[in-house]
Amino acid sequence: MPQPPPNLPTVKVSPRGATRLNNGHFWVYRSDIVTTDGVPPGSVVTVTDHRGKPLGSALYSSSSQIAIRMISREPVPDFPALLRLRVADAIAYREPIVRDTDAYRLIFSEADFLPGLIVDRYRDILSLQILTQAWDSDPLRQTLISELTTRLNPDSIVERVDPRVRELENLPARASGLLHGSKTATIFNMNGVQFHYDALEGQKTGAFLDQRENYAAAAQYAHGEALDVFCYQGAFALHLAPRCSHVTAIDSSRPALEVADQNATLNHREIEWIEANAFDLLKDYAASGQQYDTIVLDPPAFAKSKRDLDAAMRGYKELNLRALKMLRPGGILMTCSCSYHVSQLNFLEMLASAALDAHKTVRILELRGQSRDHPILLNVPETAYLKCVIAHVSN
Ligand code: SAH
């Protein structure tokens, strides 16, 4: 039997945890951990089954419900060396698939075999986010920064901190800030549309890069009068504008709409931005008989956990029902969900039920997901989260 490398601490998992790993998943939950005697938080560990047989190497979190995230099925005596290889692989993976953009996700956690690490590129600025204890080590951060600067030569690297993640991971509070260079603002280009980027502002790491290919798809079908609901900084609206006679876009966040308006100026587009609660506004619009030819619905994740699923489905149905009623014959609905807990089947069933209630005939033009720079790892279902349906709607 191969022996684990002697220098790494060992975490023993239950038969159920071992089965999960043998089925190709990357995670073991705390309830499936047998022993973690003296393992320091955030260590690289050797994982064994309950009999002591090595199953590979992982990052260990002492506080997350996901105690183990695998980094390799082999022993990993030198994690920084593996990190350098994985960064090179992530860059190479994207070379043939990322087109018409200088903003995209460079490293997507498990899907790039670097669990808990996200790196997004916005032209000459890299924005990184760490989601687990292991990445909080300074030497590891230094290795990552040196690898990213050597390979990509960015003007700067910024770390975006989600305070809730640090709390859950039992890490000391830390502010977002520069890790390399001094530049924090730039302009990036996606599908020929330009966007202002401020590395220390905005939601996520600044933009919703996972929708990039869907923006281009939406533009192909858009026509007439368009409504972009949950528009954030205006990405869908700006992609629809060249094809539409008028675009109205709604969001509840004033800071997002301020950037959206600057983006419209940057691209010489006229878009009507409305600060409102989308649920209230759609209700008013529907009541007053407002009609559109193209509607985009891209709400925030309604189901953050399985428990929220019923309420989430009611939210999606209300929005989609109103949108379907407001579409003129021949209209286009582009409807999205970024909740992992809502499956594609759940989402299509919701849409089917909304179509019946709205007395509309809906034909699916495209079933889409996240952009390919957010890879889906076949045996890790959690890596597939974005659903995007493009549909033709008639009476
Ligand atoms: N379509 C955008 C991303 C949308 S993210 C893009 O591709 O860039 C979801 C957006 O919904 C956020 O901008 C958030 O501010 C907004 N939002 C959340 N709740 C809302 C509500 N009740 N009414 C209107 N906007 C809301």
pLDDT in tens, 264-284: 999 999 999 999 999 999 999
Could you tell me if 98 and 159 lie in one domain?
A: yes
Ligand 1 atom 16 nearest Cα: 230
How deeply is 41 buried, as exposed, middle or buried, from its count of CB atoms within 10 A (0-12, 13-18, 19+)? middle
Ligand 1 atom 1 nearest Cα: 231
pLDDT at residue number 303: 83
pLDDT at residue number 125: 98
Number of domains in the chain: 3
Ligand 1 pocket member 278 (CB < 6 A): yes
Does residue 359 fall inside a structural domain?
yes
Could you tell me if 236 and 345 lie in one domain?
A: yes
Give the Å distance between the CA of 253 and the centre of ligand 1: 7
3-state SS class at 206? coil
Residues in CB range of 349: below 8 A, 6 or more apart: none
DSSP type of residue 5: P
3-state SS class at 308? helix
Domain stops at, among 72, 100, 115: 72
Give the Å distance between the CA of 117 and the centre of ligand 1: 24
Could you tell me if 49 and 110 lie in one domain?
A: no
pLDDT tens, 124-156? 999 999 999 999 999 999 999 999 999 999 999
pLDDT at residue number 5: 56
Contact present, 13 and 34 (Cβ < 8 Å)? yes
Mean pLDDT (whole number) for 248-260: 97
Type of residue numbered 162: D
The string over 302-339, giving b where at least 16 C-beta atoms fall within 10 Å of a residue's C-beta and e elsewhere, is bbeeeebbeebbebbbebbbbbbbbbeeebbbbbbbbb
CA 47, distance to chain mean position in Å, is: 28
Does residue 1 fall inside a structural domain?
no
Could you tell me if 58 and 83 lie in one domain?
A: no
Ordered alpha helix ranges (H), the chain: 15-22, 79-94, 138-152, 163-168, 212-221, 235-240, 254-266, 278-287, 309-326, 344-358
CATH number of residue 26's parent domain? 2.30.130.10
Does residue 272 fall inside a structural domain?
yes
pLDDT at residue number 3: 55
Distance between CA atoms of residues 292 and 297, nearest Å: 13
Ligand 1 atom 3 nearest Cα: 232
Within 10 angstroms of residue 175's Cβ, the number of other Cβ atoms is: 8
Ligand 1 pocket member 302 (CB < 6 A): no
pLDDT-derived band at 37 (thresholds 50, 70, 90) equals: confident
Cα–Cα–Cα angle for 357, 361, 366, nearest 5°? 115
Tokens of 26: 């990357």
Domain stops at, among 49, 72, 95: 72
pLDDT tens, 286-319? 889 999 999 999 999 998 888 889 999 999 999 9
pLDDT at residue number 205: 79
- CA-296 nearest atom, ligand 1: 1
Secondary-structure breakdown of the chain: helix, strand, coil percentages, each rounded to the nearest 5? 35, 30, 35
Mean pLDDT (whole number) for 237-256: 98
pLDDT at residue number 117: 98
Residues in CB range of 307: below 8 A, 6 or more apart: none
Distance between CA atoms of residues 379 and 376, nearest Å: 9
CATH number of residue 92's parent domain? 3.30.750.80
Could you tell me if 347 and 381 lie in one domain?
A: yes
pLDDT at residue number 71: 97
Does residue 29 fall inside a structural domain?
yes
For residue 1, pLDDT beyond 70: no
CATH number of residue 276's parent domain? 3.40.50.150
Nearest to 72 by CA among 8, 17, 136, 26: 26
For residue 2, pLDDT beyond 70: no
Ligand 1 pocket member 211 (CB < 6 A): yes
Which residues form the catalytic set? 338
Contact present, 193 and 260 (Cβ < 8 Å)? no
Contact present, 325 and 295 (Cβ < 8 Å)? no
Ligand 1 atom 22 nearest Cα: 277
Could you tell me if 169 and 217 lie in one domain?
A: no
Mean pLDDT (whole number) for 163-179: 94
Nearest to 325 by CA among 276, 291, 349: 291
Does residue 255 fall inside a structural domain?
yes
Does residue 194 fall inside a structural domain?
no
pLDDT at residue number 311: 94
Mutate to test the pocket of ligand 1, among 251, 281, 318 (most ligand atoms within 8 A of CB): 251
Distance between CA atoms of residues 13 and 30, nearest Å: 9
Give the Å distance between the CA of 300 and the centre of ligand 1: 6
Could you tell me if 66 and 102 lie in one domain?
A: no
Could you tell me if 371 and 239 lie in one domain?
A: yes
pLDDT tens, 79-109? 999 999 999 999 999 999 999 999 999 999 9
Could you tell me if 143 and 272 lie in one domain?
A: no
Give the Å distance between the CA of 228 and the centre of ligand 1: 10
The mean of the pLDDT values for the chain is 95
Ligand 1 pocket member 279 (CB < 6 A): yes
pLDDT-derived band at 168 (thresholds 50, 70, 90) equals: very high
Could you tell me if 46 and 95 lie in one domain?
A: no
Domain stops at, among 72, 105, 122: 72
- CA-277 nearest atom, ligand 1: 23
pLDDT at residue number 6: 58
Does residue 195 fall inside a structural domain?
no
Give the Å distance between the CA of 299 and the centre of ligand 1: 5
Domain hosting 44: range is: 10-72
Could you tell me if 66 and 84 lie in one domain?
A: no
Does residue 296 fall inside a structural domain?
yes
Q: In what order do the strands lie in the sheet with 10-13?
A: 27-29, 66-72, 54-60, 44-48, 10-13, 33-35
Could you tell me if 154 and 253 lie in one domain?
A: no
